[in-house]
Amino acid sequence: MKKKSLSVKNKIPNNFRIFLKDKQVKRTFKKFANNIKNINFESNICLALSGGPDSMGLLYLINSYKFPKKIKIYVYIVDHLLRKKSSDEAQFIKSKIKKLNVKVRILKWVGNKPFSNIQAKARNKRYNLIAKQCEIDKVNSIFTAHHQDDLYENFLLRLLRGSGLQGISSFNSLVTNYNEKIKIIRPLLNIKKEELIYISKKFFSFYIEDPSNNDDKFTRVRLRKLISELKKEGLNINKLSLTLDNLTISNNAINFYVNQNLRENIHKNIYKSNYILNKNFFEYPDEIIYRTFSNILKRVGEKYYAPRGKSVLRILNMLKLEKNLKITLAGCIIEKFNKSVLISREKGKKS
């Protein structure tokens, strides 16, 4: 083999080599390795591990890859405490992976739990817990186990929510930013769920089945059933990928001007961690202004998701009409003085 080609002997810890002799596991590993080979890992990495076949398969692939020696691998198991035996499950998963060369943390969601929109709120809380632990462990890359089959689900889910071009196409990206310090990496987008199930059974001999995956009260579960019907009508992964690729090209063109607006018309006060928008900020087309403004609110409020589009548009309209204004949104204080806008964090507000 050439030096640049994948070398199983050089990449794989001793106790893993026997499994990579399996042709199917080796094919999946090569796809994974090819997906991340051009990413520059400068700090520690982590995996959000649920115990399901997707994340267990990803854990095997991560632990099989040769990262730079200085990089530590952390595994974060989030215990939402939403089910009676969730803590026992978390401890069980931890015990099953202790043989791996990773550092395991169990992160608990302590406090009151929601009664509605449970999955979305749990997902937000999961990212918040992980992001806080990332700061402690000096992690700047979060690996998630979103795979090829998830593309269908998230494409339809975002259509149902009325997402625009950015929301629909963003999930197709290998790397996205969680905030200014942390990036999210999805290295399995060209890998099928069945491949990850195979690895989980082959190496770990177990995985956890989340009972909510079969509960029709959740939108995602109902969408999975719809997807199986759409596949029969011809919506295959090649057609979906082509659509997402075309949307991504258009989205990247818009982001070019969003980044230009960020560079040229926004001043960050390093000491106070706030942002000042000058009058030229509002001279771009509406979509550029909307995205740039949402981006700033995410940064200042330290949120993974931007505020709802209606709320952002309402404030942008107010900023156009009012000479002076002071209003709050998403943990941010937005103040307008003549033709400049100041955005700062609300006191006591944390993600």
Which region holds residue 162: left if phi is over 0, alpha if psi is between -120 and 50, else beta? left
Q: Could you give the CA distance from residue 94 to residue 77 in angstroms, rounded to a whole number?
A: 8
pLDDT in tens, 212-271: 666 666 777 788 778 777 778 887 878 888 888 888 899 889 999 999 999 999 988 766
Residue 12 has a pLDDT of 41
- Name the strand (E) or helix (H) holding 136: helix 118-137
Residue 93 has a pLDDT of 92
Q: Is 264 exposed, middle or buried (0-12, 13-18, 19+ CB in 10 A)?
A: exposed
pLDDT in tens, 118-165: 777 888 889 989 999 999 999 999 999 999 888 888 888 888 777 778
pTM, rounded to two decimals: 0.74
Neighbours of 93 (CB within 10 A): 25
pLDDT in tens, 324-337: 889 999 889 999 98
| Banded model confidence at residue 10, pLDDT cuts 50, 70, 90 | very low
Q: Which residue has tokens 């990212």? A: 127
Q: Which residue has tokens 């400049």? A: 340
Residue 216 has a pLDDT of 65
Sign of CA dihedral 266, 269, 275, 280: negative
The full set of domain ranges for the chain reads: 8-235, 257-345
Tell me the sheet residues that pair with 268: 275
Look at the domain 257-345 and name its fold.
3.30.465
Q: Which residue has tokens 């029709």? A: 216
CB neighbour list of residue 139: distance below 8 Å, 6 or more residues apart: 43, 44, 45, 46, 74, 133, 182
Average pLDDT over residues 182-210: 90
pLDDT in tens, 65-117: 989 889 999 999 999 888 888 899 999 999 989 888 899 999 999 888 777 77
Q: Which residue has tokens 């156009």? A: 320
Two domains, one topology: 8-235 and 257-345 = no
Q: Could you give the CA distance from residue 77 to residue 95 in angstroms, rounded to a whole number?
A: 12
- Length of the chain counted residue by residue: 351
Which CATH superfamily includes the segment(s) 8-235? HUPs (3.40.50.620)
| Banded model confidence at residue 1, pLDDT cuts 50, 70, 90 | very low
Tell me the sheet residues that pair with 78: 107
- Name the strand (E) or helix (H) holding 216: none
